[in-house]
Structure 1
């Protein structure tokens, strides 16, 4: 089995397009932002292509097959599934309180009202999504 090259190439091309597009922007702020995204995508695409070429060599084929088999097993392993669910739940809990703390800190620091409002809305949206997803999975199972 050969590794997939397509995603790395697409990311690399998108990154190069962003870097080139940044050259044509007049606003320096947006040009720098687009250039930074482009560089990040170029590096990501390059690393994926490097991994593709590494595993496509015949001497590394057995290593690639072993890695694929381990990934297939980990996807179906009940313990790993439970660990991923626990990690996701803990991440949800931590981000819930982080968003609350950041919105409170922004309010104390008198940051512009719309920035504080966005963080508060993200906090509310996360809470509502948690309830909606819980009820969806409760009915589904």
Structure 2
């Protein structure tokens, strides 16, 4: 089985286009933002392409097959499924309290009202999303 590298090439090219496009923007703030995204995509695409070319060589095919087999087994392994669910639940809980603390801290520091409102709305959206997804999965399973 040969590794797939089409997506990594697209990411690399998109990043290069962003970096080149940033030089034509007059507003420095947006140019820097576009340049940062482009550099991140170029690095990501480069690392994926390097991995693609490494596993494309015939001497690394057995290693690639072994990694793919482990990945397929890991996706169906009940213990790993439970670990992923626990990690997702814990990250949900941590982000719930971090957003609450950030909104409280922003209110104490008298940050502009709309920034505090956005963080509060993210907190509420996460809470509502948790309830909706719980009810969806409760009916589905």
TM-score of the superposed pair, with normalisation by structure 1: 0.99
CA RMSD of aligned residues (A): 0.3
Distance 2:129 2:6 in 1: 33
Distance 1:100 1:3 in 2: 43
User: Who is 2:118 aligned against?
Assistant: 118
1:97 deviates by 0.0
Structure 2: 5+ residue runs without aligned partners? none
Q: What are the within-5 Å matches in structure 2 for residues 66-105 of structure 1?
A: 66-105=66-105
1:29 deviates by 0.5
User: Who is 1:37 aligned against?
Assistant: 37
User: Who is 1:133 aligned against?
Assistant: 133
TM-score of the superposed pair, with normalisation by structure 2: 0.99
Paired residues, what number? 141
1:21 deviates by 0.8
User: Who is 2:48 aligned against?
Assistant: 48
